[in-house]
Amino acid sequence: MDLMELVKTRRSVRTFDGRPLSKEDEGKLRAYMQEIPNPYGIPVRFLLLDAKKHGLSSPVIVGESCYVTAKADKVPHSEEAYGYSFEQLVLYAWSLGIGTTWIGGTMKRSLFERAADVQAGEWMFCVSPLGYPAEKMSVRESVMRKTIKADERKSAEQLFFDGDFSTPLAAKDEKVRDALEMVRWAPSATNSQPWRVVRAGDAFHFYLAHTKGYTSKAGWDMQKIDMGIALCHFMGALGGELVLSDPGIQTGEGTEYIATVKL
Ligand SMILES: Cc1cc2nc3c(=O)[nH]c(=O)nc-3n(C[C@H](O)[C@H](O)[C@H](O)COP(=O)(O)O)c2cc1C
């Protein structure tokens, strides 16, 4: 599967068939997890956790036997770096037929943090179950997907702009259109889709349109993880260089500059 197919076919999987990961798949994931780079150069350290051994579960997940999580140092931009690296693992798992669900809320965080031995200088933002999708979704999963409209996304006109935030982008280049389509289909917490992109020549400025209530008491922002995921899809499709330099384009209230990709 190419990247577009992976992005378009991936969905959160919350109902698994109960089989543990095969030795072969587990080996592939462990090898892949060793080093998953991100353009921030911030190390994201992955680990697999046996659900039974550590007593791990999530109220929205059924039939899982294993979780993956990752830890990053408490440094600026660690959320974006985390989103970028973790999403690569999500897509790789999907290429092997293994389902995942990004989980940042519906879990007993302290249990997972203990199992992952999170230190004072580290953040463990999210976890995901890993397993083989069941043939049929649980009723709870179907209801959840309908409630958060998980199979829908905002239109390109609502997300992508040319020069400033008042002009929708009509990208002529097919590769750019495809990369933006991959941003559009990215997963995000509660499917809020907070990414906004403004093109200026060969620079694509990424912004976060904040939804209230996503900054944790600990001071990190779940929606910055969404931004890292969007950057992962965009740069996975087009490459480019990540630059952190606010171009000073006027934004609406609650919209924050995150990063620029220069092609
Ligand atoms: C950072 C992040 C955190 C998330 N946290 C949760 C969560 O706590 N529980 C959950 O069931 N889904 C969670 N999700 C999954 C989203 O609800 C899901 O990606 C979105 O509804 C789109 O559906 P899809 O992944 O099937 O395309 C999270 C997604 C992201 C990116």
Condensed to tens digits (0 to 9), the pLDDT of residues 144-189 reads: 999 999 999 999 999 999 999 999 999 899 999 999 999 999 999 9
Supply the residue whose CA is at minimum distance from atom 23 of ligand 1: 150
Q: Does residue 17 belong to any structural domain of this protein?
A: yes
Place of tokens 């990190």: 220
How far, in Å, from the CA of 30 to the mean position of ligand 1?
A: 23
From the CA of 223, give the closest atom in ligand 1.
1
* Domain assignment of residue 146, yes or no: no
Question: Of 105, 140, 175, which residue is a domain's last?
Answer: 140
Residue 239 lies in a domain: yes
Contacts with 35 (C-beta within 8 Å, 6 or more apart), sequence order: none
pLDDT tens-place string over residues 209-227: 999 877 777 789 999 999 9
- Among 108, 140, 172, the domain-final residue is 140
Judgement on whether residues 79 and 195 belong to the same structural domain of the protein? no
Same domain, 131 and 181: no
| CA 202 to ligand 1 centroid distance, Å | 31
Ligand 1 contact, 197 CB (< 6 A): no
Domain-located, residue 148: no
User: Would residue 204 count as lying in a domain?
Assistant: yes
Residue whose CA is at the smallest distance from ligand 1 atom 28 = 189
- In angstroms, what CA-CA distances link 242 with 4, 220, 245? 21, 21, 10
Shared-domain flag, residues 131 and 41: yes
Residue 256 located in a structural domain: yes
Q: Is 226 in the pocket of ligand 1 (CB under 6 A)?
A: yes
What is the C-alpha separation between 178 and 2, in angstroms, rounded?
Answer: 12
Residue 7 shares a structural domain with residue 130: yes
Q: What are phi and psi of 70, to 5 degrees?
A: -150, 155
What's the CA gap between 202 and 240, in Å, rounded? 10
How far apart (Å, rounded) are the C-alpha atoms in residues 187 and 153? 10
Same domain (yes/no): 161, 125: no
Centroid of chain to Cα 191: 11
Residue ranges making up the domain that contains 96: 3-140
Q: How many structural domains does the chain have? A: 2
Q: Of 107, 140, 173, which closes a domain?
A: 140
Distance, CA 248 to ligand 1 centroid (Å)?
31
The CATH number for 134's domain is: 3.40.109.10
Q: What is the pTM of this model?
A: 0.98
Residue identified by tokens 């630059």 is 243
Q: What tens digit of pLDDT does each residue of 64-110 get? A: 999 999 999 999 999 999 999 999 999 999 999 999 999 999 999 99
The reply to whether 133 falls in a domain is yes
Instruction: Say whether both 135 and 187 belong to one domain.
Output: no
CB of 104 closer than 6 A to ligand 1? yes
* Residue 198 covered by a domain: yes
